[in-house]
Amino acid sequence: MTYSFLRLAAEALRGQTGWTPAWRNPEPKPDYDVLVVGGGGHGLATAYYLAREHGITNVAVLEKGWIGSGNAGRQHR
Ligand SMILES: Cc1cc2nc3c(=O)[nH]c(=O)nc-3n(C[C@H](O)[C@H](O)[C@H](O)COP(=O)(O)OP(=O)(O)OC[C@H]3O[C@@H](n4cnc5c(N)ncnc54)[C@H](O)[C@@H]3O)c2cc1C
């Protein structure tokens, strides 16, 4: 999927029905080096910086809703 101003405008007109998920939905692996509970800003940043700064990439972020569904996603409602 590509994102552009035109795409945003088209989706606004047709009720946001044409988007597809932007993330994978993989089966969980048998083990991880780190489990992060919560896919809000802090959880995602933790996973990102573990990978970028420490090379720890075998990380799972467990989210009970959808990514950013906590306070991170409430800020502009
Ligand atoms: C109305 C409002 C306006 C705000 N405005 C601003 C602002 O202008 N500027 C600013 O800097 N901050 C603002 N904040 C604060 C900011 O949103 C929070 O500080 C920030 O989002 C916290 O991030 P977080 O990752 O800790 O929590 P959250 O974003 O709440 O993420 C926690 C995640 O954990 C998940 N979770 C919880 N329990 C479990 C579980 N047992 N298993 C799996 N997943 C779980 C939740 O579903 C959620 O997605 C605002 C907050 C609110 C409510």
Binding site membership of 36 for ligand 1 (Cβ less than 6 Å): no
Please tell me the predicted confidence (pLDDT) of residue 75.
67
pLDDT per position as a tens digit, 10-45: 999 999 999 998 877 889 999 999 999 999 999 999
- What's the 71 CA to ligand 1 centre distance in angstroms? 3
- The full length of the chain comes to 77
Residue 43, number of CB atoms within 10 A of its CB: 19
What is the rounded average pLDDT of the residues 55-74? 91
Binding site membership of 60 for ligand 1 (Cβ less than 6 Å): no
Rg of the Cα trace of the chain?
16
Please tell me the predicted confidence (pLDDT) of residue 76.
58
